[in-house]
Amino acid sequence: MQQRSIVRLGVPLAVAALALSACGSRDAGTTSTAGSGTKTVKIGVIAPLSGGLSALGLGIKNSVDLAIKQANETNAVPGWKFELAAQDDEAKAEVGKNAATKLSSDDAVLGVVGTLNSSVAQQTMPVLAAANIAQVSPANTNPTLTQGADAAAKKRPYTNYFRTCTTDAVQGPFAAQYLLGAGIKSVATIHDKKTYGQGLVDAFTVEFKKGGGTVVAAETIGENDKDFSAVISKIKPNSPAAIYYGGEYPQAGPLSQQMKSQGLSVPLMGGDGIYDPKYVELAGATANGDLSTSVGAPTESTEAGRKFLDQYKAAGFAEPAAAYGGYAYDAAKAIIEAAKTALKDAKDVKSARAAELTALGKVSFDGVTGKVAFDEFGDTTSKILTVYKVDGGKWIASKTDTFK
């Protein structure tokens, strides 16, 4: 009998406690601190924090972290405190989608910086769009993300998506013009069949042929391939003067090394996906002369960029800012900049999300990678690109130009 009364008392108590705690948790994120002054607003990050591309992903996360810390120090939006909510996408579309779902269920998230991979962005965009959360990518370069699948009839698929980097529609042709300018008329292309790699190679091929060049071989490799000897042997008899590779450094580095050890000693050129110190490390001593394009001017070549790198260094992050640090920093700054208008009179983050999207479209300031402003598709208005060349084990800027 004793036990029974405990149960009788216990059950309603437990139910009440659960109900109360449920109320509490719902309020805690957004409005419960309303009376006491500062409210919390979160900026999410979706990037590969582990796996082969983590060097790039961690650089993005740290740079956003830096932007958030600075915004809090300067009290960028009075009454609001920014917080970082980083999620690992492992460079996989499905994992990225889960990360986006997680962030969109958090009422305090105003915007997300990410993703690194275009293929992941395709999955995160619709999820975040449903919650009206802004996504600003520092690194997605696939043109279809902003302009739709049909290049002839451009249509923006999701109005919550912006990016601070230029697209492959510009990057591939820029590389083609550079190679033609360097007197290279025959090229073999290889890509990894991912959205990014294929987009890059397609755009490159069109421009290269238009400029009078020939693509002597067009090959693909599998996403998990490690041994490229068969592909290299297939290309070699066509004696291309350069290889244009669409993909990222984990495969591009070994590909370059294997090419050269197999006697195909021509430069490998790629997009921003191979512009990383890790590429040179993986490609080894024979990487000299390899080329890459990357969006914007080199971070260390501008006054603002140097300042950013100094601050990044001073903040004491364990990993370098890598290729997209500056873009991620600018993306976070854009979200914060827009938040100044969006959050001004808002009572919680959720109701400010729509205003944030409008404000993002109108953002215009000088960032570390150049002018940060978006066109009607959400693409950056800056079309400055740089060709980098491996020299003595490092990427050296070889030519910076505005794409015409």
Partner 1 sequence: MDQFLQQLLNGITLGSLYALIAVGYTVVYGIVQLINFAHGEVFMIGAFGSLATWTIFFKGQLGLWVLPFMIVGAVLAAVVVALILERVAYRPLRHAPRLAPLITAIGISVFLQEAVRLFYPGAKSALPFPQIDMVTGPAFQAGPVTVRRSAVFVIGALVVCAILLWFFINRTKMGRGMLAVSQDPDTARLMGVNVDRIIAVAFAIGAALAGVAGVAQGLQNSNIDFFIGFMAGLKAFTAAVLGGIGNIYGAVVGGLVLGVVEAMAVQFIPGTFGGSPWKDVWAFVLLIVVLVFRPQGLMGARVVDRA
The 10 Å CB-count burial string (b at 16+, else e) for 8-36 is eeeeeeeeeeeeeeeeeeeeebbeeeeee
**Helix, strand, coil tally for the chain in percent (to 5):** 50, 20, 30
Q: Is residue 281 at the binding interface for partner 1, with CB under 8 A as the rule?
A: yes
Nearest approach in angstroms of CB 251 to partner 1 is 9
**Residue 396 vs residues 30, 316, 324: alpha-carbon distances, Å:** 47, 25, 16
Q: Draw the binding track, 304-333, toward partner 1 (x: CB under 8 A; -: no contact).
A: ------------------------------
Q: Is residue 234 at the binding interface for partner 1, with CB under 8 A as the rule?
A: yes
Q: Is residue 221 at the binding interface for partner 1, with CB under 8 A as the rule?
A: yes
Question: From CA 401, how far away is CA 404, in angstroms rounded?
Answer: 9
Phi and psi, residue 395, nearest 5°: -80, 125
Nearest approach in angstroms of CB 299 to partner 1 is 21
Q: Is residue 106 at the binding interface for partner 1, with CB under 8 A as the rule?
A: no
Tokens of 117: 């991979």
Q: Residue from 32, 105, 261, 301 that binds partner 1 (CB under 8 A)?
A: 261
Q: Is residue 55 at the binding interface for partner 1, with CB under 8 A as the rule?
A: yes
Please work out, in degrees rounded to the nearest 5, the angle formed at the alpha carbon of residue 248 by the alpha carbons of 148 and 62: 90
Residue (286 or 351) nearer to partner 1, CB: 286
Residue (148 or 284) nearer to partner 1, CB: 284
Tokens of 77: 């939006």
Residue (170 or 231) nearer to partner 1, CB: 231
Nearest approach in angstroms of CB 112 to partner 1 is 23
Which region, judged by CB under 8 A, interacts with partner 1, from 15-23, 44-52, 95-103, 321-329?
Answer: 44-52
Q: Residue from 32, 214, 233, 358 that binds partner 1 (CB under 8 A)?
A: 233
Nearest approach in angstroms of CB 236 to partner 1 is 7
Q: Residue from 6, 285, 314, 318 that binds partner 1 (CB under 8 A)?
A: 285
In the chain, the largest separation of any two C-alpha atoms, in whole Å, equals 95
Question: From CA 13, how far away is CA 25, in angstroms rounded?
Answer: 18
Q: Is residue 229 at the binding interface for partner 1, with CB under 8 A as the rule?
A: yes
Of 109-168, binders to partner 1 (CB under 8 A) are none
Q: Is residue 394 at the binding interface for partner 1, with CB under 8 A as the rule?
A: no
Q: Are 213 and 185 in contact (CB under 8 A)?
A: yes
Q: Residue from 118, 137, 160, 258 that binds partner 1 (CB under 8 A)?
A: 258
Instruction: Say which DSSP state 380 is in.
Output: B
Sequential DSSP letters for 299-327 = GGGSHHHHHHHHHHHHTT-SS--TTTHHH
Residue (57 or 296) nearer to partner 1, CB: 57
| Strand blocks (E) in 256-363 | 268-270, 291-295
Instruction: Say which DSSP state 153 is in.
Output: S
Residue (169 or 259) nearer to partner 1, CB: 259
Q: Residue from 114, 199, 253, 267 that binds partner 1 (CB under 8 A)?
A: 253
Question: From CA 159, how far away is CA 118, in angstroms rounded?
Answer: 16
Q: Residue from 12, 35, 263, 316 that binds partner 1 (CB under 8 A)?
A: 263
Nearest approach in angstroms of CB 16 to partner 1 is 42
Contacting residues for 247 by C-beta, under 8 A, at least 6 apart:
190, 191, 192, 194, 196, 197, 221, 270, 273, 274
Task: Catalog residues that contact partner 1 under the rule CB under 8 A.
Answer: 50-55, 193, 219-231, 233-234, 236-237, 250, 253-254, 257-258, 261-263, 278, 281-282, 284-285
